[in-house]
Structure formats: structure tokens, C-alpha cells
Amino acid sequence: MDAYFNFISNNPILFILFFVILSFIIFNEYKTITQKYKDISPQDAVFLINDDAFILDVRENSELTEGIIKNSKHVNFSSVQTSLDSIKKYCNKATIVYCKSGVKSATISNLLIKNGFNNVYSIKGGFQAWVTDSLPIVKK
């Protein structure tokens, strides 16, 4: 036990950094466990799409030149809050949200859950993962 105390007293910065990193890991795991939406792979999204899911594209207009997932409804990330009334009719359907890389879609997924959407899914890796998996896209 004295070896631990000696290590801590000789390396206080390492000891503090250890607990900071440990805290981040615990926070991230807690956040993952308690999130109300589900992260899904692009392949899992295909099954939901084939089962008539609502698809919400939250990328910015400039990112649409890369293409879109067929039958998806586009609403800019910054406009989703003000556009909730236009998509509220889909709140009882499975809802798939995607952005460019999957970060913004997580934020929007939480917003949709808070506004009464029941089954919300976010594509892990976003549109980039969809394209990487060679799934079909539509160019406008």
C-alpha cells in the first residue's frame, strides 16, 4: 500500500489525469446507457427503411451535392427546432436521422425524443458510413 501512496505523491499530475480520463469514460458510458434513441448501422437502417421508416436528413444545404438517401426529408440542422410542426405527423413511425458524420444526428435524435417521437434511430457514421457501405444514394 505504501508503494501506491509513494507513486501518488511522486506523480500527482499523472494521478489527477488518470481520474479525469476515468471520469470521461464513466460519463460517456452513462450517457450511452441512458440515451433514449438507438444508434444503428447503415445496414440496420436499410431494414427499417424497407419497413416504411421516416428518414430525416439534417445536413446543411451545401452537403446535399454528395447525394441523399432516397425518400429522405431534408431539414437543415439549424432549422429542425422551427420545423418540428412539419415533421410531427411522423412521430409514431420509426424515424431515422442522419447527418454527414453522425454527430449532429445524435443531437437531433434527442430533440425529437423530447418532442414526442417514439422510435428514433441515428445512423452511426452518418451519410459517410452509408456511402462507405456502398448503399444507394440519389443525386439531385
Would you state the pLDDT for residue 89? Answer: 94
Would you state the pLDDT for residue 26? Answer: 96
Mean pLDDT computed over every residue of the chain: 94
> Are 97 and 79 spatial neighbours (Cβ–Cβ below 8 Å)?
no
Would you state the pLDDT for residue 32? Answer: 78
In this prediction, residues 82-92 reach a mean pLDDT of 94
In this prediction, residues 120-133 reach a mean pLDDT of 97
Would you state the pLDDT for residue 33? Answer: 84
Looking at 3-7, 38-42, 84-88, which range is the least confident one?
Answer: 3-7
Instruction: Say what percent of the chain tops pLDDT 70.
Output: 100
Q: What is the pTM of this model?
A: 0.81
Closest CA to 91 of 75, 122, 112, 70: 112
Would you state the pLDDT for residue 35? Answer: 86
| Cβ neighbour number for residue 126 with a 10 Å cutoff | 24
Closest CA to 56 of 114, 111, 133: 111
Would you state the pLDDT for residue 1? Answer: 82
